[in-house]
Amino acid sequence: MDLLVVGSGFFGLTIAERAAAELGKRVTVIDRRSHIGGNAYSEAEPQTGIEVHRYGAHLFHTSVESVWEYVNRFTAFTGYVHKVYSNYRGEVYPLPINLGTINQFFRAAHGPDAARALIAEQAAEFDTRSARNLEERGISLIGRPLYEAFIRDYTAKQWQTPTTELPAEVISRLPVRYTYDNRYFNDTHEGLPVDGYTAWLERMADHPNIEVRLDTDFFDTAQPLNRAATVGQVPVVYTGPIDRYFDYAEGELGWRTLDFEQEVLPVGDFQGTSVMNYAGADVPYTRIHEFRHFHPERDYPEDRTVIMREFSRFAERDDEPYYPVNTPADRERLLAYRALADAERGVLFGGRLGTYQYLDMHMAIGSALSMFRGRLAEIL
């Protein structure tokens, strides 16, 4: 073995594939889960055959041509364009906030200039630069009515914290489009893998120089590829939580996690779209995914559908971490962990967990490609 990769998400598999295919290295990938692919893993729901994203919806999009060229080596993509809607007080609005949202909410027929003037007038209540918390900044960006309808309670559910107690820097901007364009992403390329995420991930690992071992915990000394036995003996790319690697020596980093309730319903179509947000505080979940809408080109049952309700909360140590909380205390701890990571010879830290950054899939892949072209050569 020339390289050990800890974690089989997109970052780890990109590193493994490049090292095996481009450099001819023998790579072992380990993952503590029983499946490949980290949070991007998908599987067919047994009753319906509908592809379900086990850890919440994953939508691929990028404007980075090198990333787009790379991922197309392993999968073709559908023409899926992601659109999101929000249920607020029993009425459905398009998101992100656009001219359609504004006119529907205010029962108006504003053109772009009139809508801009309206939002500017409502946003004048607070100055963005001097906003003391998330609520004041949100109002300064889009005005109080739209903020209270679509941002306040939804964000409080995500963070389990009132927005008046969240720091202003949690949001830097809230996009408002003064057209009727309600595409969620602005990237050049967008789509879903034709054969699903797991097929894509398995093709990345399908190389004679790559061995994947599942149900293998890097910190379990009962298995041979553990931290104590490998670090210093073989180059390592580690994509797990950085604080866990150092046994929480500088304290635990804060994460939010997600819980899901999956249900098969005896209807052909539950909500008519792939993702519906629930903006109000009266609904405990943040959104509902309906997976049949991600692949309308597939032959799915006409009398059954799969939905998944998503709940957000702060993560405990044994939970799957999703989004960095990134408080000032977290950032201070992260600096200490980065110093420890820089001093760890023969080990590189990458991915969402290893860098304590929220990375979309294309960002994780791009970051791995950059590491392969740069720092990986230092340890191989």
Confidence bin at 9 (pLDDT 50/70/90): very high
Q: Which of 18, 137, 177, 352 is catalytic?
A: 177
Q: Contact at 8 Å (CB) between 276 and 288?
A: yes
Least confident piece of the model among 186-195, 208-217, 316-325:
316-325
**pLDDT for position 306:** 98
Asked if residue 172 has pLDDT above 80, the reply is no
- If you search the block for the tokens 């969402």, which residue do you land on? 352
Q: Which of 69, 173, 282, 303 is catalytic?
A: 173
Structure tokens at 184: 């969620």
Q: Which of 310, 330, 337, 356 is catalytic?
A: 310
Mean pLDDT of the chain: 95
Asked if residue 150 has pLDDT above 90, the reply is yes
Q: Which of 256, 292, 333, 352 is catalytic?
A: 256
d(CA 168, CA 75): 40
**pLDDT for position 40:** 96
Which of the given ranges, 124-133, 164-173, 259-268, has the highest pLDDT on average? 259-268
**pLDDT for position 79:** 96
Is 342 a residue of the active site?
Answer: no
Confidence bin at 290 (pLDDT 50/70/90): very high
Which carries the bigger pLDDT value, residue 160 or residue 301?
Answer: 301
Structure tokens at 124: 């004048």
Q: Which of 2, 202, 344, 360 is catalytic?
A: 360
Q: Contact at 8 Å (CB) between 75 and 200?
A: yes
Q: Which of 287, 292, 333, 352 is catalytic?
A: 287
What is the average pLDDT across 59-88? 97
Q: Which of 22, 297, 358, 378 is catalytic?
A: 358
What is the average pLDDT across 211-228? 97
Is 287 a residue of the active site?
Answer: yes
Is 310 a residue of the active site?
Answer: yes
Is 107 a residue of the active site?
Answer: no
The SS3 call for residue 35 is coil
Which carries the bigger pLDDT value, residue 239 or residue 317?
Answer: 239
Percent pLDDT > 90 in the chain is 91
**pLDDT for position 218:** 98
Asked if residue 103 has pLDDT above 90, the reply is yes
Asked if residue 173 has pLDDT above 80, the reply is no
Q: What pTM was estimated for this model as a whole? A: 0.93
What is the average pLDDT across 291-299? 98
d(CA 361, CA 159): 22
**pLDDT for position 325:** 86
Confidence bin at 157 (pLDDT 50/70/90): very high
Least confident piece of the model among 166-180, 205-219, 224-238, 245-259:
166-180
d(CA 211, CA 36): 12
| CA dist list (Å): 76 to 8, 51, 79, 194, 362 | 21, 16, 10, 6, 15
- What does the pLDDT look like over 311-356, one tens digit per residue? 999 999 889 999 898 888 999 999 999 999 999 999 999 999 999 9
Confidence bin at 280 (pLDDT 50/70/90): very high
**pLDDT for position 169:** 81
**pLDDT for position 161:** 85
Percent pLDDT > 70 in the chain is 100
d(CA 380, CA 375): 9
**pLDDT for position 276:** 98
What is the average pLDDT across 208-216? 98
- What does the pLDDT look like over 76-87, one tens digit per residue? 999 999 999 999
Confidence bin at 165 (pLDDT 50/70/90): confident
Is 360 a residue of the active site?
Answer: yes
